[in-house]
Chains A and B, each alone.
Chain A
Amino acid sequence: MKQAIISVLLPDRVGILRDVTRVVFDQGGNIVVIRQTIVHGFFSLVFTVAFARPADPAALSAALAGALEPDAAVTVRPFAKPPPTPLPAGPTYVVTTHGPDRPGTVYGISQFLVDRGINIIDWTVEGEHDDVVYIAEVVLPPEADFRQVQADFRAEMARRGLRASICHQNIFRATSEIGAIHNLLSGN
């Protein structure tokens, strides 16, 4: 394989990224895109690698497993280019819900979004006093009736006892970034 996508999951400790990237370097790979997060003490890493010469996925997986703890979960998949999936290419909005932490909330939100062809590109949860706040960046289909989606979402979440909003991402970028506003607008 000339390119691979690799995921690693294991309890967090100092040096995981160093150990993983040393294996990649030893195998002649160059990391292209990398993203990491930590959830409840578990370190998760996803990255893509390009190889100058064809590499063996099994050998790479074994090398990574050997460099990490026995309970580390390692996945190596070859790919040539990202799979062509019919993702929406519309504007990016930010979905938020506030309310008590109950089972099924994430499922309910994601079901609502999927039913309308809305793709989630980022998702996180934050604690706020006794409530939890779900924050998702989503992409609406260009043909979506935003105001209808917004009204339906608020109504659906209200039935679940949650305050909810969907706002275009630029309102958050405007208040958090320092770039010119007209650049924000021309970028969408």
Chain B
Amino acid sequence: MIAHQGILDTLRMVEQENLDVRTVTLGINLNVCAGRDPDAMVRAVYDRIVALAGCHVAFCDEVSAKYGLPIVNKRIAISPASILLEGHSVETAVKLAQALDRAAAAVRIDLLGGFSALVHKGITPGERTLLEALPQALAQTGRICASINVGTTRAGMNVDAIRLAARQIIATAQATRAQRGFGAAKIVVFANMPEDNPFMAGAMLGAGEPECVINVGVSGPGVVKRAIDRLLARYPDATLDRIAEEIKHTAFRVTRTGELIGREVAGRLNVPFGVVDLSLAPTPRVGDSVGEIYQAMGVERVGAPGTTTAVMLLNDAVKKGGAFASSAVGGLSGAFIPVMEDHALSGAVERGDLTLEKLEAMTAVCSVGLDMILLPGGTTEACLAGIIMDEAAIGISTRKTTGVRVIPVPDAALGDRVDFGGLFGAGVVTAPACPQGAETFVGRGGHIPAPIHALIN
């Protein structure tokens, strides 16, 4: 018999606190589709995705109904598309992106990730082709997400790749000027990119992954926030360790729902279950915000001194709860701080409480990095490359994943408001306090060696 209070608690989480599975992502390795004939390669990619993912959405819907738990997004992550582009042209890369877009539409997927290149130590011709194709590919498709890995703790930082990535992000924003640079919102530049991340825009199926696999991203910022509210209503003087304990227990429950859904969908698709990524991923809705969690803890103005500590507490407690809940924890697993997608963070930036520099500090202890941040249209390639380098440096040095997903909004100035709508949210344009002055340093290019603590063999 199930404890009745447990039933009521679970129903409350779903019905009132926005507990859901944020994404069930089907990973598909496409390497078998590689070939010298561009048309044959593109056709093979389309056919393989449609064949393997044809039932993905239907199965997710069935499982969602069975458990009464919403599955917000059903998505696909492919093996790095750059592998398919070795020996091919930029024109073929754009055709590939279009075929991926059509395949995603055919299987009712809103976003497909893995138009990616891993260039942390060097760039192959196929990877360069993909990077050069990004502006056209993202301007001519609606469902494709791209990611670039520019550094790892073991390999160091590829500054040449970062400069190229920065150039292509700006070019992509320009190519999608009519959508206020929205194309750039579908590019993530990573250091220590996880190979099993189910969340967009950085989802990708890594080289060490199975041929097909289900990875799940859970969410639940609203659940965590309400748990803290209840704790503090009962114990107004609760210390931070009690708050951490409450978050840990809540993360445990959230994580297990994700594994349950993921294993069931994987079973129906007859593919292995991979990981549950227990990241707290907010949406622009009130009550589904990571920023609100910091406020519930007592950081009344997000960005004030203490905010970074609140991020650390949350990120660590989430990981601990999740690690006990499941042996299949992976991906990014922590707390996201995507500014536009979180009304509390976005509002803090708009008020000037939360600056780019404070966000950078927060990324040293959160699970990803600078995410969904609007920059002025005049942001230079050197400035953007410097932002990426700083973020990658944090990841490489702390041995964690960091990422940069910023949108240099064409023609926009500091303080302008931009609304992408839906889950991508809205916000105001912000900028580094000192956007110039490192051009010479960034312009030197090259490769920054791995940090000494990488020499462990």
Chain A interfacial positions (CB closer than 8 Å to B): 94, 96, 122, 124, 126, 128, 133, 135, 137, 146-147, 150, 163, 165-176, 180-182, 184-185
Decide: A137 and B260 in contact? CB cutoff 8 A.
no
CB contact list, B303-349 vs A, under 8 A: 326-327
CB A178 to nearest CB in B, in angstroms, measures 8
CA distance A169 to B2 in the complex (A): 8
Decide: B10 and A172 in contact? CB cutoff 8 A.
yes
CB contact list, B4-43 vs A, under 8 A: 4, 6-11, 13, 15
Decide: A167 and B67 in contact? CB cutoff 8 A.
yes
Instruction: Pick the contact of B67: A122, A147, A170 (CB < 8 A).
Output: A170
Between A and B, 19 residue pairs with Cβ closer than 8 Å are A94-B2, A126-B8, A146-B66, A147-B65, A163-B15, A168-B67, A169-B2, A171-B10, A171-B68, A171-B260, A172-B7, A174-B253, A174-B257, A175-B253, A176-B2, A181-B259, A181-B263, A181-B326, A185-B263
Cβ proximity bits B253-281 to A, threshold 8 Å, 1 near / 0 not: 10011011001100100000000000000
Please give me the residue from chain A that is nearest to B12 by CB atom.
A128
Chain A neighbourhood of B2, CB < 8 A? 94, 137, 169, 172-173, 176
With contacts A126-B8, A171-B68 known, what are 7 further pairs, Cβ within 8 A? Answer: A135-B8, A137-B2, A146-B65, A170-B260, A176-B9, A181-B259, A185-B263
Number of residues on chain B facing chain A (CB within 8 A) = 28
CB A93 to nearest CB in B, in angstroms, measures 9
The answer to the question of B433 belonging to the interface, with a C-beta cut-off of 8 Å to chain A, is no
CB A119 to nearest CB in B, in angstroms, measures 15
The answer to the question of B1 belonging to the interface, with a C-beta cut-off of 8 Å to chain A, is yes
The answer to the question of B69 belonging to the interface, with a C-beta cut-off of 8 Å to chain A, is yes
CB A185 to nearest CB in B, in angstroms, measures 6
CB contact list, B102-128 vs A, under 8 A: none
Known contacts being A167-B66, A168-B67, is A137 close to B326, with CB within 8 Å?
A: no
Chain A neighbourhood of B11, CB < 8 A? 96, 165
Please give me the residue from chain B that is nearest to A170 by CB atom.
B260
A-B contact count (CB 8 A): 74
The answer to the question of B178 belonging to the interface, with a C-beta cut-off of 8 Å to chain A, is no
Decide: A171 and B1 in contact? CB cutoff 8 A.
no
CA distance A145 to B10 in the complex (A): 24
Decide: B256 and A175 in contact? CB cutoff 8 A.
yes
Decide: B4 and A175 in contact? CB cutoff 8 A.
no
Decide: B8 and A176 in contact? CB cutoff 8 A.
no
CB B94 to nearest CB in A, in angstroms, measures 41
CB A32 to nearest CB in B, in angstroms, measures 18
Chain B neighbourhood of A96, CB < 8 A? 7, 11
Chain B neighbourhood of A133, CB < 8 A? 8
The answer to the question of B3 belonging to the interface, with a C-beta cut-off of 8 Å to chain A, is yes
CA distance A70 to B41 in the complex (A): 87
- Most chain B CB inside 10 Å of its own CB: which residue of A96, A137, A147: A96
Chain A neighbourhood of B7, CB < 8 A? 94, 96, 135, 172, 176
CB-CB nearest 9 A-B residue pairs: A176-B6, A167-B68, A171-B67, A175-B253, A174-B256, A181-B259, A174-B260, A175-B10, A172-B2
Decide: A175 and B257 in contact? CB cutoff 8 A.
yes
Decide: B326 and A128 in contact? CB cutoff 8 A.
no
CA distance A184 to B67 in the complex (A): 13
Chain B neighbourhood of A122, CB < 8 A? 1
CA distance A165 to B7 in the complex (A): 11
Instruction: Pick the contact of B257: A163, A171, A185 (CB < 8 A).
Output: A171
CB contact list, B64-113 vs A, under 8 A: 65-69
CB B224 to nearest CB in A, in angstroms, measures 14
Known contacts being A96-B11, A165-B68, is A126 close to B4, with CB within 8 Å?
A: yes
Known contacts being A150-B65, A176-B10, is A184 close to B4, with CB within 8 Å?
A: no
CA distance A135 to B253 in the complex (A): 20
CB A148 to nearest CB in B, in angstroms, measures 10
Please give me the residue from chain B that is nearest to A150 by CB atom.
B65
Chain B neighbourhood of A181, CB < 8 A? 256, 259-260, 263, 326
CA distance A184 to B263 in the complex (A): 11
Chain B neighbourhood of A146, CB < 8 A? 65-66
CB A35 to nearest CB in B, in angstroms, measures 10
Chain A neighbourhood of B62, CB < 8 A? 147
CA distance A187 to B326 in the complex (A): 18
CA distance A163 to B7 in the complex (A): 15
Please give me the residue from chain B that is nearest to A96 by CB atom.
B11
Chain A neighbourhood of B260, CB < 8 A? 170-171, 174, 181, 184-185
Chain B neighbourhood of A124, CB < 8 A? 4
CA distance A96 to B6 in the complex (A): 13
- Most chain B CB inside 10 Å of its own CB: which residue of A126, A174, A175, A184: A175
CA distance A180 to B328 in the complex (A): 11
Chain B neighbourhood of A175, CB < 8 A? 6, 9-10, 13, 253, 256-257
CA distance A167 to B65 in the complex (A): 8
Chain A neighbourhood of B8, CB < 8 A? 126, 128, 133, 135
Decide: A171 and B69 in contact? CB cutoff 8 A.
yes
